Chains A and B, each alone.
Chain A
Amino acid sequence: MRRVLLLAGSPRAGGVSLMLGRELLERMAALDFATEVRTLRVSGLLDAQEGRARLHAAFAWADTVVLSAPVYVDSPPAQVLKALEFLAAEPWRGDEPKRFCALFCCGFPEASHTAICLDVSRIFARKAGLEWAGGLGFGGSGALGGQSLAARGRMAAPVARALDMAAQALTDGRPVPPEARELAAKPLIPKPLYLFLAESGFLSLAWKSRTITRLGAKPYEKQ
């Protein structure tokens, strides 16, 4: 039986990274009925002893750990780093190898913004005594929303295909193939259109918040 743990790194409950992580695990479970999956959100988890114990137990239970998280300021969010520091403090020395895979998504249209996060994940795997199974970096996550990929239709087809390939590879005990990484990095819509839609999204939120005329406010400007 394969035991897969999803570490969800987004502080937001309906975030894109959580959706992508769940989609990957669903695919792995569909490929092998003997796969058992668990999800643990890292946000606030390490603030209490009970949470630290839960993370420790879930990590020890899994034979494959998948981290899915957004990119914050070019790197994994603070809470994700805290979880990684916690896990690497006692490198895995079990009899069976434990594999680690990472999915990162970014609101900028270019997937290259996720490269540092994937490098950090690879170094974490080495430090924590895990086998690095590769990862996927997605750009333009705003186009995916927090819905399922099926709800996004053909636009999300490259993402779905990349997750299919990653799930198959992880189930077979192989690392995520380069073809999956290339598909994940493929822009879902042209960059100018994506940026126009993203700007519109912020303006719409600001309109609803009645702050549209104050978006450029400088509250900390030197007097």
Chain B
Amino acid sequence: MRTILFDAAPPEDDACRQGLDALRRALTDEGCSVRTFALARTAISPCRGCFACWVGTPGRCPFEDASCEAARAVAGAELLVVYSPVAFGCWSSEAKKALDRMVCLVSPHFAFSGLTRHRPRYESLPALLGVGWLAEPDPEAESVFARLVEHNAYNLHAPAQRAVLLEQDEWARQRQVCRGALREMFQ
């Protein structure tokens, strides 16, 4: 399965990176062919909210940086995995700067049924697995994170979605949690 991994783990956070390692092993265990964007080492500018990727250069951000390659990769993938520390129930700013730039993957036109969202630009977009890292348990943040992944999947027209939270734990257990989520998504 063609898989894109947005890795927003801080390079200096060993505990968080252990979760990333467990996730990567789980992905390969489940037969995913993974291409990783290490966001801390990838130059991606924040979205300017200019709508140019919708009306100026449709489907492509005119401010070319690594996000254009990331968007191309996501458009051709079957699974998008985002791994990020959970910041107040949300993605970290590092993960978010990449996700904000993925707005070129949807069309400016609206889908009129249900809760409003934009129509998809491509016939198929990848399923979304959101994996959050929490240094300590926080039920409020966990609940908001699960809703966020669900909303992201809805607006990005992902055919399947799961939110997983990893905490301080044994590597093998973290890997098992990720494998379980992948199996649930594609069973």
Binding site for B on A (CB under 8 A): 10-12, 15, 43, 70, 72-79, 81-82, 84-85, 88, 108-110, 112-113, 116, 119-121, 123-124, 126-127, 191-192, 195, 198-199, 202, 205-206, 209, 211, 214-222
Closest 7 CB pairs of A and B: A82-B93, A78-B97, A220-B75, A81-B93, A78-B96, A123-B88, A74-B151
Question: B115-160: which residues lie under 8 A (CB-CB) from chain A?
Answer: 115-117, 121-122, 138, 140-141, 144, 147-148, 151-152, 155
A-B contact pairs, 13 of them (CB 8 A): A12-B50, A73-B100, A81-B96, A110-B115, A202-B109, A209-B56, A211-B55, A211-B58, A218-B121, A219-B59, A220-B105, A220-B122, A221-B75
On whether A73 and B102 interact (CB within 8 A), knowing A81-B93, A123-B140, A219-B60, the answer reads: yes
Report A113 CB to chain B, min CB distance, Å.
8
Q: Please report B residues at the A interface, Cβ cutoff 8 Å.
A: 46-51, 54-60, 71-72, 75-76, 87-93, 96-97, 99-100, 102-103, 105, 107-110, 112, 115-117, 121-122, 138, 140-141, 144, 147-148, 151-152, 155
Number of A-B contacts (CB under 8 A): 154
Closest to B75 in A: A220
Q: Which residues of B contact A222 (CB under 8 A)?
A: 75-76
Excluding A73-B100, A202-B109, 15 further A-B contacts by CB distance (< 8 Å) are: A10-B49, A11-B49, A12-B50, A75-B90, A77-B100, A84-B87, A85-B87, A116-B148, A119-B147, A123-B88, A199-B109, A202-B108, A217-B58, A221-B75, A221-B122
